Structure formats: structure tokens, C-alpha cells
């Protein structure tokens, strides 16, 4: 297996972008990544997208995106794993370069969610149709069940969950690509409109349009393109039951744990070796469950750990320095590669006001549905 490096990144601004369509969002991010890398050709492309069929009545993204990138005859693939679609696209591009099949691979993700389609209905396609969505459960509803169970089992409080949102909005206030760039207080979160009790508006990631892209190549070749070599040292993926009720313990995201374990094993690293991480905070409780499943704190202690400031920019393990899904936004199919974009910014030292000091190793964790799939990558600056 060859070593693999990330040599280019690009993303669009995230937000409610009614005037932009699916293809132009993707092409903008891809062209930015190509320019950033300085490559003059692509060998293949992986496009992560969750549900362009339901949102935009547009499938066949491999052809469309290669076409609009001006890449006739490119080997291209569309990858779907709900909200983990582009995390998985990144993993497949990594495998293709590592295997020796291709040298220059574009991995990206896109979602156009403001189209007039019912976003809650479209997103529910990532849940179990027969046992969850058919009965009216939604993603805020499913994560509310997880939050209630976590509160009952471990004593997690509303204030602890609110601390996650306040921290992510603070980080996002320094990210020009973020959908929401306003700082908020604990009171903003606690007094917000209820969405699915105990989760309110500010416990939820928003509905977002956007795209992100990255260029991968063999580590040996990377030296021709950049002086800042960023190596992919770990990659792990895992699935779990699609329906929440079929898990032994709904407070423990076992797919996240397994994908993290596999990435740590591949990298020969432990959670304490990671300097900062982007985790899938689609809801505040999800960030708490994810930092537990990834071993950044003890299981059951994610609430007090977050409230005590350990996950802040200057904390023990800065989490979601980009603003996370909560503040940066969550165009579902684009989120996984957008996390990689933040890792690369931090490792290059170009993250501006949200820069983590001595950032040498970052972890990205991207999750599908209510934890039915998860993919983890660890990047290290050489
Ligand atoms: N956080 C903070 N503010 C938000 C927000 C969020 N998540 N979502 C919307 N807003 C703001 C809007 O900017 C708007 O503000 P304005 O009145 O100042 O312009 C206001 O709230 C109303 O926005 P609207 O788009 O009408 O919200 P909504 O009620 O239709 O949707 C949610 C709110 C929380 C239901 C929606 O964002 C949602 O479903 N989020 C979860 C998405 C999801 O499940 N993703 C998959 C995860 S697995």
C-alpha cells in the first residue's frame, strides 16, 4: 500500500443559497481544490451526495459533475452513505491512490437542500423507513431519544448540551465559510423554540447548501506540489443497525467507536495523540456521544467534559474548530470532506483566529443517519 497525501482543498460558502444549483456548487469547490493543489489533470473522482434525487430530482452525479468540470471520459463515482457520503468518498479515493490504481484523485461532496423539497422528509430517507420514518420519527426526534436516554443514564444536563452549541458558534464566528457566524449564549440555546424535546433550535444543525473538495495523491508525488505535506495516516469505517431501537445501548454510538478504533489502529495512535478533531455534531447530543465513542473522554462524561471547556479552542482537545455542523452548516453529502478541509487548514496553520496551537495531528469523524454508518480519518503534517 502506498502512503497518501492531501495536496489541495476547496469549499464553497455554506448557507441558504437559493440562487445556486447543485452543479455549480460542486464545480466551484472542485476547481478551488484543483487550483490549490496545482495539478493539471485528474485520474478519477468520487462525489459524495446523500439525496440529490429527492432534493433536486437529479441523480447520475458522476457523469454530471465530470461533464461540468470539463473532464470528459474521467472515471467518476457517486458515493452515498447518508450524511457520511463524502467521508466515505474520501476513504474510497484514499484506497484508490494507496492501491496504486491512480495518482491524482479528486474527492468531494455536495448537497443542495434549499430547493422547495421538504427537507425533513428527504433527510428521513437516511432512517429506517419501516420502523422509524413511516411512524413519523425524524432526525431531531431520533437524537432527542438518544439525548433523553443519555440524560437518564448519565445525568447529562441541558446546560451541558448547550455548552456544545455555544462553543461551536464561537468557533464558527471566525469561519468566513460558516452559515451562522454569530456568537450565542447558554440562554440563547435554553430559551430557543423547542424542536424535539429536549432539543431546541440551537441544538440542531441547520439545513444547508454547499460543497467541499480535496485532491489526493501518493506521498512521494506530493513533494512536487507542496512543501507542507499532509499525510493520511489512518482511515476506518463501520456500520451499525440503521434503526436506533435495535441497538443494545442507544447512548453509545458503536459504529463511531469501531470506525475510530480502526483508524487509530491503522495510524498506530491513541486518542491522546490527537491534537484536535472535527466530529459529527448534527445535534449537540451527537457531539457528546461522539467524543465518548472516540475515546476523547470517559463514556458517560461527555457532558461535564464539554461544559468544563476541554473541547474549546484552547482546551485539552479542541473539537469542531470550524464551527462544526451546528454553526458552519450541514449540507449533508458535503460535510465529510468539509471536515477534511478544516483539518488541512489547521495543519497548514492557515485557520486564522480559530487556529489551534501546535496542530500536528487532526481527526475527522463523519456519521450517517443516527449512527448507522461512520467513517474516521486521521491526518498528520509531516
Ligand atoms: N440553528 C440556529 N438557527 C436556525 C437553525 C439552526 N439549526 N435553523 C434555522 N435557523 C434560523 C433561521 O436562520 C431563521 O432565522 P431568521 O428568522 O432570523 O431568518 C429561523 O431560524 C427560521 O428558519 P427556518 O428555516 O424556518 O427553520 P425551520 O424551522 O424550517 O428549521 C430545524 C429548523 C431545526 C427544524 C431545521 O434546521 C432542521 O431540521 N435541522 C436538522 C437537520 C437535520 O436533521 N440534518 C440531518 C442530521 S442527521
Rounded to two decimals, the pTM is 0.98
Which of 140, 141, 206 should be mutated for ligand 1, with most atoms under 8 A from CB? 206
Work out the pLDDT band at 184, boundaries 50, 70, 90.
very high
Q: What does residue 5 show for φ and ψ, rounded to 5 degrees?
A: -125, 155
Q: Of these residues, 49, 83, 204, 217, which one is catalytic?
A: 83
- Report the separation in Å between the CA atom of 272 and the middle of ligand 1, taken as the mean of its atom positions: 35
Tens-digit pLDDT profile for residues 213-226: 999 999 999 999 99
Nearest atom (ligand 1) to Cα of 143: 48
Predicted confidence at residue 39, as pLDDT, reads 98
Which amino acid residue places its CA nearest to atom 38 of ligand 1?
A: 206
| Closest alpha carbon to 80 in 104, 103, 60 | 60
User: What's the chain's length in residues?
Assistant: 382
* Over residues 70-85, mean pLDDT: 97
CA–CA dist 367, 244 (Å, integer) = 14
Task: Summarize pLDDT for 190-205 with one digit per residue, the tens.
Answer: 999 999 999 999 999 9
Q: Is residue 282 within 6 Å of ligand 1 at its C-beta? A: yes
Whether 41 sits among the annotated catalytic residues: the reply is: no
Report how far ligand 1's centroid is from the alpha carbon of 205 (Å): 7
Answer whether 202 contacts ligand 1 (Cβ < 6 A). yes
| pLDDT grade for 236, boundaries at 50, 70 and 90 | very high
The answer to whether domain 4-118+208-222 and domain 135-200+233-381 are alike in fold is yes
Domain boundaries, the chain: 4-118+208-222, 135-200+233-381
* Cell reading at 23: 452543479
- The confidence score (pLDDT) of residue 170 equals 98
Of 150, 280, 330, 377, the catalytic one is: 330
- Ligand 1 atom nearest 205 alpha carbon: 7
Question: How do residues 245-294 score in pLDDT, each as one tens digit?
Answer: 999 999 999 999 999 999 999 999 999 999 999 999 999 999 999 999 99
Beta pairing partners, 200: 194
Considering Cα of 292, then 297, then 301, then 303, what sign does the dihedral take? negative
Give the model confidence (pLDDT) of 18-34 as tens digits: 999 999 999 999 999 99
- Interval between CA 140 and ligand 1 midpoint (Å): 11
- Give Cα 219 distance to the centre of its chain: 24
Could you tell me if 156 and 303 are in contact, meaning their C-beta atoms sit under 8 angstroms apart? yes
Closest ligand 1 atom to Cα of 140:
44
Locate the ligand 1 atom nearest the alpha carbon of residue 286 and give its number: 48
Cα of 227 from ligand 1 centre, angstroms: 41
Q: Which residue of 17, 204, 208 sits with most ligand 1 atoms within 8 Å of its CB, as the best mutation to test the pocket?
A: 204
Predicted local confidence at residue 17, as pLDDT: 98
Nearest to 318 by CA among 336, 299, 291, 344: 291
Q: Is the CB of 178 under 6 A from ligand 1?
A: no
Q: Is 49 considered catalytic here?
A: no
81 CA to centre of ligand 1 in angstroms = 23
For 135-200+233-381, CATH number? 3.40.47.10
Task: Read off the pLDDT band of 373 (50, 70, 90).
Answer: very high
Verify whether ligand 1 is closer than 6 Å to residue 120 (CB atom).
Answer: yes
pLDDT of res. 200? 98
Does residue 198 have a cis peptide bond before it, meaning omega lies within 30 degrees of 0? yes
Nearest residue (by CA) to ligand 1, atom 9, is: 206
Mean of the per-residue pLDDT values of the chain: 98
Q: How much distance in Å is there from the Cα of 350 to the middle of ligand 1?
A: 30
Looking from the CA of residue 120, the nearest atom of ligand 1 is 39
pLDDT digit string, tens, across residues 306-328? 999 999 999 999 999 999 999 99
- Say if residues 201 and 352 touch (Cβ distance below 8 Å): no
Residues 360-374, mean pLDDT to the nearest whole number: 98
Which residue's CA is the closest to the ligand 1 atom numbered 10? 206
Q: Taking the domain 4-118+208-222, which CATH number applies?
A: 3.40.47.10
Residue with cell 444536563: 157
Q: Determine whether the shortest distance from the Cβ of 201 to ligand 1 is under 6 A.
A: yes
Residue 305: is it exposed, middle or buried by C-beta count within 10 angstroms (0-12/13-18/19+)?
Answer: buried
3-state SS of the chain is: CCCEEEEEEEECCCECCCCCCHHHHHHHHHHHHHHHHCCCCCCEEEEECCCHHHHHCCCCHHHHHHHHCCCCCCEEEEECECECHHHHHHHHHHHHHHHCCCCCEEEEEEECCCCCCCHHHHHHHHCCCCCCHHHCCCHHHHHHHHHHHHHHHHCCCHHHHHHHHHHHHHHHCCCCCCCCCCCCCHHHHHCCCEEECCEEHHHECCCCEEEEEEEEEEHHHHCCCCCCCEEEEEEEEEECCCCHHHCCCCCCCHHHHHHHHHHHHHHCCCHHHCCEEECCCCEHHHHHHHHHHCCCCCCCCHHHHHHCCCCCCCCCCCECCCCHHHHHCCCHHHHHHHHHHHHHHHHHCCCHHHCCCCCCEEEEEEEECCCCEEEEEEEEEC
Q: Are 29 and 237 in contact (CB under 8 A)?
A: no
The torsion angles phi and psi of 310, rounded to 5 degrees, stand at -65, -20
Amino acid at each position: 500500500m502506498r502512503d497518501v497525501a492531501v495536496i489541495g482543498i476547496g469549499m464553497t460558502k455554506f448557507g441558504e443559497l437559493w440562487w445556486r444549483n447543485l452543479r455549480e456548487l460542486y464545480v466551484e469547490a472542485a476547481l478551488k481544490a484543483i487550483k490549490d493543489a496545482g495539478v493539471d489533470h485528474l485520474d478519477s473522482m468520487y462525489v459524495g451526495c446523500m439525496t440529490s434525487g429527492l432534493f433536486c430530482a437529479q441523480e447520475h452525479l458522476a457523469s454530471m459533475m465530470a461533464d461540468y468540470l470539463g473532464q470528459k471520459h474521467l472515471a467518476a463515482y457517486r458515493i452515498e452513505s447518508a450524511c457520511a457520503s463524502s467521508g466515505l468518498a474520501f476513504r474510497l479515493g484514499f484506497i484508490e491512490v494507496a492501491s496504486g490504481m491512480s495518482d491524482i484523485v479528486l474527492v468531494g461532496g455536495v448537497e443542495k437542500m434549499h430547493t422547495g423539497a421538504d427537507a425533513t422528509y428527504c433527510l428521513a430517507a437516511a432512517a429506517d423507513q419501516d420502523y422509524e420514518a413511516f411512524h413519523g420519527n425524524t432526525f431531531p426526534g431520533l437524537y432527542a431519544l438518544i439525548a433523553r436516554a443519555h440524560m437518564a443514564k448519565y445525568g447529562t444536563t441541558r446546560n451541558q448540551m448547550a455548552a456544545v452549541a455555544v462553543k461551536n458558534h464561537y468557533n464558527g464566528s471566525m469561519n468566513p465559510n460558516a452559515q451562522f457566524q454569530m456568537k450565542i449564549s447558554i440562554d440563547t440555546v435554553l430559551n430557543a423554540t423547542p424542536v424535539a424535546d429536549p432539543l431546541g433550535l440551537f441544538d440542531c444543525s441547520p439545513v444547508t447548501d454547499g460543497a467541499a473538495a480535496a485532491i489526493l495523491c501518493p506521498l512521494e508525488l506530493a513533494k512536487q506540489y507542496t512543501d507542507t505535506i499532509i499525510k493520511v495516516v489512518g482511515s476506518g469505517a463501520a456500520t451499525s443497525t440503521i434503526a436506533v431501537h435495535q441497538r443494545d445501548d442507544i447512548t453509545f454510538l458503536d459504529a463511531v467507536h469501531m470506525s475510530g478504533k480502526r483508524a487509530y489502529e491503522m495510524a498506530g495512535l491513541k486518542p491522546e495523540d490527537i491534537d484536535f478533531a472535527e466530529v459529527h455534531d448534527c445535534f449537540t447530543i451527537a457531539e457528546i456521544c461522539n467524543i465518548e465513542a472516540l475515546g476523547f473522554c470517559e463514556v458517560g462524561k461527555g457532558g461535564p467534559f464539554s461544559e468544563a471547556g476541554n473541547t474549546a479552542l484552547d482546551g485539552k482537545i479542541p473539537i469542531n474548530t470550524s464551527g462544526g455542523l451546528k454553526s458552519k452548516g450541514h449540507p449533508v453529502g458535503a460535510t465529510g470532506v468539509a471536515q477534511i478541509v478544516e483539518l488541512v487548514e489547521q495543519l497548514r496553520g492557515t485557520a486564522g483566529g480559530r487556529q489551534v496551537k501546535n496542530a500536528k495531528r487532526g481527526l475527522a469523524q463523519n456519521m450517517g443517519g443516527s449512527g448507522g454508518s461512520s467513517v474516521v480519518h486521521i491526518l498528520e503534517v509531516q
